Structures are given as structure tokens and as C-alpha cells.
Amino acid sequence: MASITTATAPTVECTSPQGAVVTLDGSSSSDPDSNIALYTWRLGSDTGQQVAPPSRIPVVTTSQAIGQTTYDLRVVDTRFAADHIPVTVSVVDSTAPTIACNAPGTITPSDVPENPKKGTVSFKATATDVCSGVSGVTITGFTCTRPTSCKVQIQGDTITILDSGGIGDTITWTVVAGDGTGNVGQTTCRLDVIKK
């Protein structure tokens, strides 16, 4: 009689909003007479929809959405003896969004207008997420190495330099971004004030 000691039940990182391609592997199945004839993978249970036609090949691939999905592997030998086992596969989103500061590494004091009415120097942070989208981007704080002369305004995802603090100042700010499944990423952006 064909028997299944185990079947691979992987956890797979999503690769798109649709989930990921998962590999269902029944190659650890065995038969006392070494005469396995067919492997069949079904969705949900042994009476569910076939993932692929019955085959002598124990490995199939299929697309799966984020979350857990149970498959049923049935193994049949040449005498029609069979065994089956459920296999649960998890597709997860465990990767935080990728954050972009969208700011140059350096500015000069002359890049910041003395009169804000003539314009301001602002940088808007953005983020991307492969699987579940970005739920929000926020600048949570900043520091200047010359805090008495540096003036910065933060509004949501945008930092505006009102006064650079002069040559030699370093302005840093922290950006936090979340995605639709609760992963949170954080990065520190840095801007050095240099001589033109």
C-alpha cells in the first residue's frame, strides 16, 4: 500500500498583491513495493478541485493568495492502493515597505531662500510595498547638529528646511512606513550642509 510519511508544507513570502507561486512537493511519499503510479493534488480536501492532473511527477506549482491554504495529496500505487494527507501552505507578507528619502545628500546654505515667500526646500518621503500596499508614510522626528540656527518644519511625510543652520550642519530625520498587513519599516535620512 502506498503511504505518505510527510509532505513539504512551506511558508512562502509573497511576491505580488496576488500572493506567490508555491511548490507542492510529495516526493517524500513511499511505497513498500516501490511502485507509486500517480500523485494527485487537490484544493481543500481529497474531494476538492484538482490543482493539476494526476501525474507520475510528485511536484507541482500553483498560485496562492496571501494566507493559509490546505491541499490534499493522494498517492496511488500500481495496484490502486492509495493514501492521502492534508498539507497546509502559508503565503505571508513579512517584509516591511521600502522607504525612499527623496532628498540629496547635501545642500548649500544658498539652496534655502532667506525669504520663505520666494520658495522653500522640501523633501517628501515615499514608500513602496510589493504585496499589500503602503498604509502610511510619516516623518516622526528630526535632529540638527546646530539646533540653535537650524529651522525645520515637518508635516506628515514632508520635511521643509526653513534655515539650513549653515555650513557644517547635518540634518537627519526619521521616516516610518507601514503596509497593509502591519509590517512597519523605518529609515533615517541625512542631509549635510556644505560650502558651494
Return the HEC string of 103-165: CCCEECHHHCCCCHHHCCEEEECEEECCCCCEEEEEEEEEEECCCCCEEEEEECCEEEEEEEC
CB atoms within 10 A of CB 138: 14
- The residue ranges of the chain whose pLDDT is under 70 are 1-9, 114-119
Q: What is the rounded distance in angstroms from the CA atom of residue 105 to the CA atom of residue 76?
A: 64
CATH topology classification for 11-92: Immunoglobulin-like (2.60.40)
**Domain range 98-193, CATH architecture:** Sandwich (2.60)
According to DSSP H, which parts of 37-114 are helical?
A: none
What pLDDT, on a 0 to 100 scale, did the predictor assign at position 6? 52
CB-based contacts of 115, cutoff 8 Å, min separation 6: none
* Cα(165)–Cα(174) distance, integer angstroms: 19
pLDDT value of residue 154: 96
| CATH 2.60.40.10, the chain: domain bounds | 11-92
pLDDT value of position 177: 98
Note the pLDDT tens digit of each residue in 55-90: 999 999 999 999 999 999 999 888 888 888 899 999
The pLDDT score that the predictor gives to residue 1 is 47
Q: Which three cell numbers stand for residue 47?
A: 474531494
